[in-house]
Amino acid sequence: MADKTHKNKGRNFFSKLGPGLITGASDDDPSGILTYLQAGTVMGLRSLWTALLTLPLMYGVQEMCGRIGFVTKKGLITLIKEYFSKGILYPIAFISVVVITINLGADLLAIGVVLEKMFDVGRIFWIIATAIIILFFTVFLSYKRFSKVLKWLTLSLFFYVAAVFYMKLDVKGSLLATFVPHFSWDKESILLLTAIFGTTVSPYLFFWQTNEEAEDREEQARRRSLEKISVTKNELKILKKDTLFGMLFSNVVMWFIMAGATQLATTYGLKVITNFDDASLVLQPLLGDMAYLFFSLGIIGTGFLAIPILAGCVGYIFSEIFNWKEGMNKTFTQAKGFYVAIGAATLVGVLLSALNLDPVQLLIYTAVFYTLITPFLILLILRIGNDKKIMNHHVNSRGSNILGIGGLVVSSIITILYLSTFF
């Protein structure tokens, strides 16, 4: 009876998890996985403290975004449009769309590369096929069913966690490196630090979670046949738990990937990851000859998780600028402009991924690009979260502001540090 009760509680908890979990899991997309693997390979145990540093910063910013969306029932671009000048709106929207589309193309390329090797069919075929499949599911599935699919795709990330338990990991050294930061100030380490921050505290996640929480609230009002419903403390508590669980899930996976890559570099004498064959070696202790297959499944699973979210973010940005109807919970006929923007972003991603680019480098530099726009977005999110005209009595708490300002300061320092390497 007790076991049944625990199972029901676990099932009930999982069913309540929504945008926070999906946002956290999508953070470990192919770009994130390759960044963590490269960081572990190049920096070794010195990379592990970044998982601890970024966790509270991720949570702080994402909790603000989720709360803003839930309270206002509006997306970030709508709020920036309403309360800031066009001189701020258009550059933020343009740069965000460009970087998100590059990320989408990089993830499509990663899927195409692994499928090309698995089936000996050119990557272009797989890139186009993947884009078509994702667009079909995004446009023709209801958001409720769509989100359930996304939740199950997160399980592909557990391969990286399980693999580490089959390695002779220096547990004491790993824990010490996690809590006592060490860093080399060379150009390559600064590049990887920038990429790590960009792929964890990612702007596309800001847009996504804000909009999804807004849609969840809108859906609640629709089900209750109410134009307005008050925001309760319990709802915000669930939102915080959902967000914390999602960010914790993301960073635990991040830590294990970097720890595994550290051991991988020692075992195989790797100094840098140059291709996906090198990257798949992290699963070798667990899966042997099946390592590349399951590495590929992880790339495909996380890619299918992240690409609809990336394309959806572009859809939200365009819809909010041009006042189109939007939402994953709407059909194509109800939100044509929204879905056309998603299709256009995916098409541009396909064209980008079809270029003769190095997939490993493209995935890592995608993360770097995010860091360069993160400080500006966090500053705007802090302004919105503290504005009583927008948030009423649900403005940021002291803790939210401390974490948000922490994210702003750290992202600004890392951006300046990275830019200084060019001089």
The total domain count for the chain is: 1
Q: Is residue 262 part of a domain?
A: yes
Over residues 252-268, the mean pLDDT reads 92
pTM greater than 0.95 (yes/no)? no
User: How far apart (Å, rounded) are the C-alpha atoms in residues 277 and 299?
Assistant: 13
Q: Is residue 76 part of a domain?
A: yes
| Confidence band for 220, pLDDT divided at 50, 70 and 90 | confident
Q: What is the largest CA-CA distance in the chain?
A: 67
User: How far apart (Å, rounded) are the C-alpha atoms in residues 175 and 13?
Assistant: 30
- Burial letters 381-415, b for 16+ CB under 10 A, else e: bbebbeeeebbeebbbeeebbebbebbbebbbebb
Q: Is residue 150 part of a domain?
A: yes
User: How far apart (Å, rounded) are the C-alpha atoms in residues 260 and 178?
Assistant: 14
Q: Is residue 68 part of a domain?
A: yes
Q: Is residue 296 part of a domain?
A: yes
pLDDT tens digits, one per residue of 82-99: 999 999 999 999 999 999
User: How far apart (Å, rounded) are the C-alpha atoms in residues 209 and 25?
Assistant: 12
Alpha helices in 17-48 (DSSP H): 19-27, 30-43
**Among residues of the chain, what percentage have pLDDT more than 70?**
89
Flag whether pLDDT at 344 surpasses 70: yes
Quote the pLDDT of residue 21: 65
Q: Is residue 200 part of a domain?
A: yes
Q: Is residue 3 part of a domain?
A: no
Quote the pLDDT of residue 144: 63
**DSSP label of 274:** -
Quote the pLDDT of residue 143: 59
**Among residues of the chain, what percentage have pLDDT more than 90?**
64
- Domain extent for 370: 8-420
CATH number at residue 301: 1.20.1740.10
DSSP string over 170-223: -HHHHHHHHHS-----SHHHHHHHHHHHHHHS-HHHHHHHHHHHHHHHHHHHHH
Question: Which stretch of DSSP H or E encloses residue 226?
Answer: none
Q: Is residue 2 part of a domain?
A: no
DSSP string over 76-135: HHHHHHHHS-HHHHHHHHHHHHHHHHHHHHHHHHHHHHHHHHHH-S-HHHHHHHHHHHHH
Collect all residues with Cβ–Cβ distance below 8 Å to 412 and sequence separation of at least 6.
Answer: 375
Quote the pLDDT of residue 5: 47
CA distances from 267 to 37, 226, 261, 385, 392 (A): 14, 61, 10, 48, 56
